[in-house]
Amino acid sequence: MNSNYDYRINIVLIGDSGVGKTSLLIRYFDGTFTEPYNTTIGVEFKIKTIEMNEKIYKFLVWDTAGAERFRAVTRSYYRGAHGIMVIYDVTNQDSFDNLKIWIQQIQAFANDNVNIMLIGAKSDLVSKKVIDTETGEKFAEQLGIPFFETSSKENINVNEAFETFFKQVGTRAVQTNDPNIKNQNKNQNQNQNQNKTNCCF
């Protein structure tokens, strides 16, 4: 993995199986959309490098399986997460009702100062929508967390949600002086490169 960065941040996507976590990830990172046909097995991730405040942040975004049989695997990623995006499907009442379970798991297994964002996915399916925007906003407000409704298919609010969260998580992680996010190898690599430059003409 390229070591030319200042901070490494872990973001985890959680939510019931089929709510659109993978589609959201692919839309943001690859700029494409395909109808999902396989559920995520275990955990997959993508990397985004962003410059903020004259520092380089490397965000590792982990796409977790929502199925019950993978919950133990998913929980193992909570502790190392700096930010967690909790996703439900606006056309699926059960996925919204189960948010309480996902939040309880965050409270039980994640760090106390982890950032959380609520995402209502598939907002383009207006005729099938059963969770209105106000209900999602109220749930997020009760927790004191940001909320976005998104559509991976129509590319609505996807970039805005990720970029807002990246900024919030990155800023908070640096302000709390989390030692786990600093790239300890960067200065060493820079010194090595400087030595190489000085020794030879």
- Strand 55-64 relative to strand 7-14, pairing: parallel
* Band (55; pLDDT cuts 50, 70, 90): very high
* Band (197; pLDDT cuts 50, 70, 90): very low
Q: Does the pLDDT at position 101 exceed 90?
A: yes
Three-class SS state of 38: coil
Q: In the predicted model, what is the mean pLDDT of residues 83-108?
A: 96
- Residue 153 CB partners (closer than 8 Å, separation 6+): 23, 33, 122, 124
Q: In the predicted model, what is the mean pLDDT of residues 18-31?
A: 94
Mean per-residue pLDDT of the chain: 86
Q: In the predicted model, what is the mean pLDDT of residues 154-165?
A: 98
Q: Give the pLDDT confidence of 118-143 residue by residue, as tens digits.
A: 999 999 999 999 999 999 999 999 99
Structural domains of the chain, ranges and CATH numbers in brackets? 7-199 (3.40.50.300)
Question: Would you report the helix, strand and coil content of the chain in percent, each value rounded to 5?
Answer: 40, 25, 35
Three-class SS state of 146: coil
- Residue 57 CB partners (closer than 8 Å, separation 6+): 5, 6, 7, 8, 9, 49, 50, 51, 166, 170
Neighbours of 129 (CB within 10 A): 17
pTM: 0.86
